[in-house]
Amino acid sequence: MDSTIGIIGAILTLSGSIFIFLGALGLVRMPDLFNRIQAGTKASTLGTFLSLIGLLIITPQWWGKLILLMIFILITNPVSSHILARAAHFIGVPLADKTVTDKYKEEEKTFSIKDEIKNDTHD
Amino acid sequence: MINLLIAIVIGILILIMAIVAIHNKNLVVGIIAAGAVSLFASILYLLLAAPDVAMTEAAIGSGLSTIIFFYVLNKIKKQNG
Amino acid sequence: MVKNTFIFVLLVGFVFLFFNLFADFTGNTELNKLAGHYAESGHEEVGAANLVTAVVVTYRGLDTLGEVTILFLSAAIVSFLLKIETSSTDDRKLRTTSEILDTASKILVPVIFIFGIYVFINGHLTPGGGFQGGAIIASGLVLILLAKPLRQISQKLISIVESISGLSFVLLGVAGILFAAGFLDNKILSLGEFGTIFSAGLIPIIYIFVGLKVGAELSSIITNLQENQNEA
Amino acid sequence: MENLSLEIVTLITGIALLLIGIWGLLTQKNLIKMVIGFALFDTGIHIIMVSIGYVKNRTAPILDQAVKTNQAAEKIVDPVPQALVLTAIVIGLGITALMLAFVLKMYQKKKSLEINNFNDLKW
């Protein structure tokens, strides 16, 4: 009984590390910066989640800290990659040749995203 | 034994990053490479059984120090143009 | 050319020096006498499970006071140097920060602050302590400034927190002279049960003050170097 | 290879990092590059100090279920260098910030980051 739980946890942790490896492979293989950010973020978020769930199955007495870690990764990982991609778009990092559409640029044209100082000093 | 191998790999990475940080002409690349040196050094501290030092180095060396460098670089660029 | 030769000679000299210093260093196999004493009787004399904390706060407490003072001094000089020239108002257009970062920072900043407080309250039991907790709190402040670059952080609040915690640190040390064996002795309160949160006498209280002081000093450095801050 | 152990590897890394820091401090002409060299020098010294305090095959100096109090002297590494390095890292950040503030003031005087332009005290 005990060993089965250990094996299930080990399989989950191993599959998590496989996803992280795929993310690292995507960083090398993808054509431009935005695709690389997507590959790195999505694969590594799923991989970290699977690893942490595997740890949760193996050692259930750590559940509090592990669930906090999962929530933290769930918030920080997508937000940071979103900020990186946004900054790269603003300083004009070129897209790959095969790119079909650039939604952000279209939206910037039609709605003219505000480019002025926001007065949010007191809130 | 595996710890020794990890330490050798991390040590080589630290030295490469340090040479990049000194030798690269672009200041932004240099600052980020110096932050990476601190991040790898915190892994070395963890291998050397010093978790307190590893926490401090990860929070200060690679977080706050890099941010301070970028703030100063930003101020200099703003005065320039 | 002369200069390059000089630098090369200096580097070779350093290599020679370090080679002589560490040529027969083969790694330790046992602790030296001082560390052996700390390891054997640290839990009876101080009561902290984390021996690094015991060394930082009690055995070498005076050094910690000096180092916190040095940090205060460097923060004060930074704010002195940058105070005079911040009159030029800057008309450069800033892009609005993205909504996602704004919302996420509202969720994350309290969590980061609570984590920093957890780190320095549990400094005598787990890895961590005042210095790490202060750095984590300052990182939370960096996240606030990234989400709203124009937000003014109150310098007055930072300086009040810094002064009160520094003063309390010194007063607790003096109380050690009056009520216990010496400066910064932690036996004013009872040592408690080893390994629980209310143990190790005065160490958690001192580390809370050290954490607040370090956090306030690092925050002051960051807000002074950040671009759009006006001095109050 | 047989006498190559963990603390020797980290000691060599620290010394090499320190030498790279000194080299950068002496050869670079840009003020910010000199500050980066000083930060590397700092990190090198910290790595050297922690690796001198390491004892073979022992764990971190924290007493818990794994390290009982009566056998602590045989199981933990030296806590004193770790405590010194802990504070030295924080001081290092303060010194770096101080040097960067000076760099900023010097840039405001001469509008240049080149060290050769600051020759007011040269004779």
| ipTM for the complex shown | 0.85
Quick one: what percent of chain C has pLDDT higher than 90? 0
Strands (E), A2-113: none
User: What kind and span of H or E run contains D49?
Assistant: helix D31-52
Minimal CA–CA distance to B9: which of B39, B44, B33, B36? B44
Q: Which tokens belong to D40?
A: 């590397």
Evaluate whether residue C2 is within a structural domain.
Answer: no
Q: Is B55 on the interface with D (CB under 8 A)?
A: no
At C95 the pLDDT is 66
Tell me the average pLDDT across D57-78: 76
C30 has pLDDT over 50: yes
Of B56, B68, B75, the CB nearest to C135: B56
Q: Is the CB of C95 less than 8 angstroms away from the CB of A121?
A: no
Domain presence at residue C26: no
- Looking at residue D1, its pLDDT comes to 56
CA pair distance C170, C182, nearest whole angstrom: 13
Q: What would the DSSP string read from start to end of chain B?
A: -HHHHHHHHHHHHHHHHHHHHHH-S-HHHHHHHHHHHHHHHHHHHHHTT-HHHHHHIIIIIIIIHHHHHHHHHHHHHHHH-
Q: How confident is the model at residue B24 (pLDDT cuts 50, 70, 90)?
A: confident
Range with top average pLDDT, A50-54, A62-66, D104-108: A50-54
Residue ranges in chain C assigned as alpha helix (H):
2-22, 33-45, 51-53, 61-83, 99-121, 130-147, 155-179, 203-225
Stretch A9-20: mean pLDDT: 91
In a domain, C219, yes or no: yes
With an 8 Å Cβ cutoff, is C86 touching chain B? Answer: no
Structure tokens at B62: 């690679």
Q: How far is A97 from chain C (nearest CA, A)?
A: 27
The 3-state DSSP class for residue D76 equals strand
Rank A8-22, C97-111, C200-214 by mean pLDDT and report only the highest: A8-22
Q: Is the pLDDT of residue A111 over 70?
A: no
DSSP per-residue string spanning C79-141:
HHHHHTTTTS------PPPPHHHHHHHHHHHHHHHHHHHHHHHSTTTSS--HHHHHHHHHHHH
Give the 3-state secondary structure of residue D114. strand
pLDDT tens column, D12-66:
888 899 999 988 888 888 888 999 999 999 999 999 888 888 888 787 777 777 7
Instruction: Locate B63 and state its tokens.
Output: 């977080």
If pLDDT is split at 50, 70 and 90, which confidence band does B81 have? low
**D97-115 tens-digit pLDDT:** 999 988 888 888 888 888 8
Count how many pairs of residues, chain A against chain C, have C-beta atoms within 8 Å. 37
Specify the pLDDT at position A123.
40
Paired residues of D114 in beta bridges: D30
Q: Residue C231: what pLDDT?
A: 47
Task: With H, G, I as helix, E, B as strand and everything else as coil, classify residue C191.
Answer: coil
Q: What pLDDT does residue C169 have? A: 86
Query: D62 or C221: which carries more pLDDT confidence?
Result: C221
The residue range of the domain holding C149 is: 40-83+99-225
User: Does the CB of C108 have a partner CB in chain A at under 8 Å?
Assistant: yes
CB C214 within 8 A of CB C131: yes
Contact partners, residue C28, CB within 8 Å, separation at least 6: D7, D53, D54, D55, D56, D78
Q: Write the CB contacts of D46 (distance below 8 Å, at least 6 apart in sequence).
A: B41, B53, B57, D14, D85, D88, D89, D92
User: What CATH class does D6-61+71-116 carry?
Assistant: mainly alpha
Q: Which residues of A81-116 are buried (b: 16+ CB within 10 A; e: fewer)?
A: bbbebeeebeeeeebeeeeeeeeeeeeeeeeeeeee
Specify the higher pLDDT residue, B17 or A117.
B17
Q: Judge whether residue C85 has pLDDT over 60.
A: no
Number of domains, chain C: 1
Does B56 sit within 8 Å of C132, measured CB to CB? yes
pLDDT, tens digit (0-9, with 9 covering 90-100), for C10-21: 889 988 888 888
Residue B40 pLDDT class (50, 70, 90 cuts) = very high
Instruction: Tell me which residue range forms the domain holding B70.
Output: 2-80
Locate C113 and state its tokens. 């602050």
Determine the average pLDDT of the residues in B44-59.
Answer: 88
CB contact at 8 A, A56 and A117: no
Say how far apart CA D119 and CA D104 lie, in whole Å.
17
Interface of B with C in 4-63 (CB under 8 A): 51-52, 54-56, 59-60, 63
> Which residues from B are below 8 Å from C226, CB to CB?
71
Q: What is the pLDDT of residue A17?
A: 92
pLDDT band at C84 (very low <50, low <70, confident <90, very high): low
Decide if B63 and C139 are in contact by the 8 Å CB cutoff: yes
Q: What's the token pair of residue C228? A: 């759009």
- Token readout for B36 is 């990476």
Does C132 map to a domain?
yes
Of residues D84 and B79, more confidently modeled? D84
Residues of chain C positioned with their CB less than 8 A from the CB of B67: 142, 222
d(CA A101, CA A96): 11
* Structural tokens at position B7: 């330490």
